[in-house]
């Protein structure tokens, strides 16, 4: 490909022909090259497994500069957001495209809090789930089940001035489904939301309270959870968000899109990594704490083992969220789990990996999942709940992306092509003649 010779176009030299490719300007970061006419005009398709160089949409929600470790929600730096905003403000920012006034925030917060109770009938759904069921499976099916209660077929979801009530209800009901997925999994009585508590406190209350422990929420822990939710809020076109937008492209229901996103998040290379990190740390601890051996396994191309919580498709430097979470882990664990052997091991492992030639040459740094599980563990949550907590944090981002996709006049149903490598045309041999 030759370099652009005008500000508006690049040219793709295909030997027999040259294709003019318009630029799609970006307000910051790399511009796009509009190659949607490549196949109709030339018959070629773009081969890019993992979509490393594909932008299926324009978006104004999150800006991410992986080379320089920059993350912004609607232009606001993540460091300022984590320090100054609450998760409810961030949710408002995602859904309404602007920071709320005090009055707007009050209305929004009250609306969410007042809708946290699930339809009582939903208890039967939880009754049908066996003990020890994976909470992520319960969460995704519970959210999907809410379609039965919240679907409004005729709502004008492509009207920018209209926000479906299902959006607020989903934000309100998801933590209750998440907490009940935990209670169902550990076979404890379901706990109802408490209208006196804020969002994060309510989550801790519903997850932890039993008639025996009469748990009272610690505000320090609630703020720690609020910050974790904020840091998970949105992250551009990652695997689960792309899933949400892809499902949305067929005009599927909001709950169906979010439920699909949750399932996509579950994998250990994505949001499931926070669970995998704690399990990895525990295994290392139980096996002589041999960090050298762990790093050598991670370097070995013939060994499928990877250092969980390290590496990222976009970040080629320290993930800014990991930096904030590492500090929060120190603060929380100093109070609740002083001298936690897993935190000490995590820091040792990080330091050793950052000094290692392989990790340096591959630009592998801790990502958002490396330290977050340590905080969830200090909250008393089992490892299989960590990704559920991630999903609750990601919810407003997914909703904003779902909305943006529905409002985008250029959006089309997602339908990628392939490079076919199967057999050429052949005829069926009758069964009695097959050798
Ligand atoms: N440990 C060891 N080597 C790694 C790791 C790791 N954690 N991550 C990447 N590499 C190596 C790969 O082996 C590859 O090496 P090579 O070029 O010598 O063959 C190179 O770095 C590039 O890796 P890819 O897998 O091509 O990178 P990709 O962008 O496709 O994957 C991913 C990114 C999935 C996050 C990867 O870094 C990984 O598996 N990390 C561990 C799982 C994890 O922590 N996931 C959470 C990510 S954050 C999130 O989704 C919320």
Question: Strands 76-77 and 70-73, how do they pair?
Answer: antiparallel
Q: Is 265:390 a contact under the CB 8 Å cutoff?
A: yes
H-helix or E-strand spanning residue 33: strand 32-33
Closest residue (by CA) to atom 12 of ligand 1? 362
Provide the pLDDT for residue 1. 47
Q: Is 281 exposed, middle or buried (0-12, 13-18, 19+ CB in 10 A)?
A: buried
Is the full-model pTM beyond 0.85? yes
pLDDT confidence of residue 7: 60
Hey, whose CA ends up nearest to atom 50 of ligand 1?
Answer: 270
Question: Residue 313 CA: which ligand 1 atom is closest?
Answer: 29
The alpha carbon of 306 and the centre of ligand 1 are apart by a number of angstroms equal to 7
Q: Strands 32-33 and 18-24, how do they pair?
A: antiparallel
Q: Which domains does the chain have, with CATH numbers?
A: 9-65 (2.20.28), 76-270+382-407 (1.10.580.10), 275-378 (1.10.230.10)
Query: How many whole angstroms separate alpha carbon 111 and alpha carbon 218?
Result: 24
- Residue 270 alpha carbon, nearest atom of ligand 1: 50
Spell out a b/e string for 51-75, using b for 16 or more CB atoms within 10 Å of the CB, else e.
eeeebbbebebbbbbbeebbbbbbe
Position in ligand 1 atom list of the atom nearest CA 370: 44
Q: How far is the CA of 309 from the centre of ligand 1 (A)?
A: 9
- What is the residue with the minimal CA distance to atom 45 of ligand 1? 269
Which mutation among 265, 311, 312, 317 tests ligand 1's pocket best, with the greatest number of atoms within 8 A of CB?
Answer: 311
Residues with Cβ < 8 Å from 87, sequence gap 6 or more? 199, 200, 226, 229, 230, 233, 393
Distance 312 CA to ligand 1 centre (A): 6
Q: What is the largest CA-CA distance in the chain?
A: 79
Task: Give 142 Cα–ligand 1 centroid separation in angstroms.
Answer: 31
Q: What confidence score (pLDDT) does residue 2 get?
A: 45
**Residue whose C-alpha is closest to residue 239's, from 275, 269, 277, 276:** 269
Q: What is the pLDDT of residue 67?
A: 95
Nearest atom of ligand 1 to the alpha carbon of 52: 29
Residues 234, 312, 319, 356: which is the catalytic one? 312
In our burial notation (b when 16+ CB lie closer than 10 A, e otherwise), range 2-22 reads: eeeeeeeebebeeeeeebebe
pLDDT for position 3:
44
Q: Which atom of ligand 1 is nearest to the CA of 314?
A: 29
Residue 369 falls in the annotated catalytic set: yes
Q: How far is ligand 1, taken at its centre, from the CA of residue 181, in Å?
A: 30
Distances (CA, A) of 13 to 74, 118, 329: 37, 58, 52
**Ligand 1 lining (C-beta closer than 6 Å):** 50, 238, 269-271, 273, 298, 306-313, 362, 364, 367-369
Is the four-CA dihedral 258, 262, 264, 270 of positive or negative sign? positive
Ligand 1, atom 36: closest residue by C-alpha: 311
Return the residue whose CA atom lies nearest to atom 28 of ligand 1: 313
Using CA positions, which residue lies closest to atom 39 of ligand 1?
A: 269
Based on the number of CB atoms within 10 Å of its own CB, is 345 exposed (0-12), middle (13-18) or buried (19 or more)? middle
Q: In order along the chain (435 residues), what is the average pLDDT of each group of 10 residues?
A: 58 91 93 94 95 96 97 98 98 97 98 96 95 95 92 79 91 98 95 97 98 95 97 98 98 95 97 96 93 95 96 96 95 92 95 97 96 95 97 98 96 96 98 93
Residue ID of nearest Cα to ligand 1 atom 40: 311
The pLDDT of residue 152: 74
For residue 162, the model assigns a pLDDT of 87
Residue 398: count other Cβ atoms within 10 Å of its Cβ. Answer: 27
């Amino acid at each position: 490909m030759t370099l652009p010779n005008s500000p508006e176009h690049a040219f793709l030299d295909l030997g027999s022909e040259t294709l003019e490719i318009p630029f799609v300007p970006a307000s910051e970061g790399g511009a796009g090259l509009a190659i949607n006419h490549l196949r109709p005009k030339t018959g070629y398709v773009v081969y890019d497994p993992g979509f490393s160089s594909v932008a299926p949409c324009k978006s104004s929600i999150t800006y991410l500069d992986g080379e320089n470790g920059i993350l912004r929600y609607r232009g606001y730096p993540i460091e300022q957001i984590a320090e100054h905003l609450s998760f409810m403000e961030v949710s408002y920012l995602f859904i309404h495209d602007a920071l709320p006034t005090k009055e707007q925030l009050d209305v929004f917060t009250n609306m969410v809090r007042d809708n946290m109770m699930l339809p009582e009938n939903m208890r039967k759904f939880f009754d049908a789930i066996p003990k020890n069921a994976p909470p992520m499976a319960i969460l995704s099916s519970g959210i999907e089940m809410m379609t039965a209660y919240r679907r409004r077929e005729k709502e004008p979801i492509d009207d920018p001035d209209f926000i479906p009530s299902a959006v607020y209800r989903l934000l309100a009901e998801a933590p209750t489904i998440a907490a009940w997925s935990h209670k169902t999994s550990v076979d404890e009585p379901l706990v109802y939301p408490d209208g006196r508590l804020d969002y994060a406190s309510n989550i801790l209350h519903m997850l932890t309270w039993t008639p025996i422990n009469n748990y009272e929420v610690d505000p320090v822990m609630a703020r720690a959870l609020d910050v974790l939710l904020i840091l998970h809020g949105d992250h551009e076109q990652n695997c689960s968000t792309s899933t949400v937008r892809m499902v949305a492209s067929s005009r599927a229901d909001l709950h169906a899109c979010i439920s699909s996103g949750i399932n996509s998040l579950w994998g250990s290379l994505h949001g499931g990594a926070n669970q995998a990190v704690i399990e990895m740390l525990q295994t290392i601890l139980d096996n002589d704490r041999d960090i050298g051996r762990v790093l050598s396994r991670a370097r070995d191309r013939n060994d499928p083992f990877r250092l969980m919580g390290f590496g990222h498709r976009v970040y080629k430097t320290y993930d800014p969220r990991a930096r904030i979470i590492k500090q929060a882990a120190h603060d929380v664990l100093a109070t609740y789990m002083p001298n936690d052997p897993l935190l000490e091991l995590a820091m040792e492992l990080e330091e050793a990996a950052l000094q290692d030639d392989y990790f340096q040459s591959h630009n592998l740094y801790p990502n958002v999942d490396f330290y977050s599980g340590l905080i969830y563990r200090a909250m008393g949550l089992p490892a299989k709940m960590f990704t559920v907590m991630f999903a609750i944090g990601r919810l407003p981002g997914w909703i904003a992306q779902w909305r943006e996709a529905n409002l985008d006049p250029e959006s089309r149903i997602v339908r990628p092509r392939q490079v076919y490598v199967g057999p050429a045309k052949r005829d069926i041999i009758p069964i009695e003649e097959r050798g």
